[in-house]
Structure 1
Amino acid sequence: MALAFTKMQGLGNDFVVLDATAAPIALDASTARHIADRRYGIGCDQILIVEPARSANADFGYRILNADGSESGQCGNGARCFVRYVREAGLTDKNRIVVDIRDGQMVLEALDEGDFRVALGGPRFEPAEIPLAGFERAARYRLDDVAGQSVEFAAVSLGNPHAVLRVSDVASAPVARIGPALEAHAAFPERVNVGFMEIVARDHVRLRVFERGAGETLACGSGAAAAVVTGIAAGDLAADVRVDLPGGRARIQWQGAGYSVYLIGPAERVFEGKLVSSD
């Protein structure tokens, strides 16, 4: 069996995109891990599957598989690649599309200046909605047993769970030590994406993200949005913020409660090919 794919990237966050609009593509966790493997497969942070819409008002369905084979509910960088892919593959000529995701819908747009904008929906701060176990809602939370130390963080859901730590210098942040320990902590029953944010100015932050199921990546769109949203909610950031990630720069816009969070940035096609099974 030969599986056609397109390799894409957004700010260095890379994806394998599969078109399942004409026929279903069933991937078990083992196959997904093989595709994502950078030595034995294609290599990617996540696999994006383009499917037929499940709702009458949607244009497509959108599924996301992590590198470890688990499923994710949201990926902002992947969503930008998604809208570029469906337009360039001739699946739509719309500049604005609605996609069904695991936990709702997303609106994706191609902008005139060549960037792409993703409406991520409204953030959810209630612990039960993140989910974050064992806490009442607060601006910041504290765990005393993360890799042998106490950690303070803000928490929010944008279709997937995020914990955001403030750091004075993102370059020296303990991403490799704290990231996996907090990702798998019992307080997060669905695991968590862990962001390390340095505030440079009210309209500028630097960020590194340890993604659940993928490890540290060059960029995480929903992670950038989560970090900025927690800063805005705390009164420390403006409503329009540029985010410097190891893979490049994105913009996050949020007007506050009742409004959607917007992610703006590039998306690029890298190459196309076919994965041939050895069975």
Structure 2
Amino acid sequence: MTEYGTIRYAHDEAVATITLARAERLNAIVPEMLAELSAALARAVDEGARAVLIAGEGRAFCSGADLVARSDGGLPADLGQMLETHYNPLAVQLAELPIPVVTAVQGAAAGAGCSLALHGDFVVAGRSAYFLLAFVNIGLVPDFGATWLVAKAAGRAKALEMMLLGERVPAELALDWGMIHRVVEDEALLVEARALAVRLAAGPTRAMGMIRRAVAGALTTPLVDVLAREAVDQRAAGRTTDFAEGVMAFVGKRKAEFSGR
């Protein structure tokens, strides 16, 4: 069993659950956590997980980069290089996963923690959750994909409001803005998020992976290229075992039992 220092990992019912486990620091991010997240995501795929659930231990999802821990050794002079080395590869890895991602958010999802939450295909938030991009308050810019994620979900005006004012966006408002999927009571958060992950894990996994990629591409790709991509994906999806099962289930008027193949 692989041991981790900053996260916990479990794999059950085809769902890989990755829990940020620095509760004493509100799950603030250190480079080790990013490396372990990357390793856990790769492990999930290698082990045949069909969905990923990312959660935070304690009263917060993630408070962002741990500036206190970083200050012990000093922040790097080139913050851009830090992003290119640690954060950006993980963002790309999340975007390119062949399986869906659910994030369960309680309390603070701030800075890079906000970005991590919003990288989920489905963001389930407890009523205590809030989303915060306060980089402007320390003279920095949002990172880890935040500008793309928020602008694409909420639009230019809301993205600028959130980033230039550096104020909290409570869960209910984030839902109104189209940033997240659902708001639930805090005590039901993990149950609801896991149920959604289990439901996704029971779906046609290969088709879902292609849908993830196609939707991400459609946000920045001309229609003619999207149409070409859809044709390629549909050809591949049409050759899967899950497609054959889906058709037989439809004809037989029963629920499909997808295998992920």
Report if TM-score (shorter chain) is over 0.5: no
Higher relative contact order (CA 8 A, sep 6+): 1
TM-score bucket of the superposed structures, by smaller chain: 0.3 to 0.5
Greater strand share, 1 or 2? 1
Greater helix share, 1 or 2? 2
**Larger Cα-atom Rg:** 2
Normalised by the length of structure 2, the TM-score is: 0.32
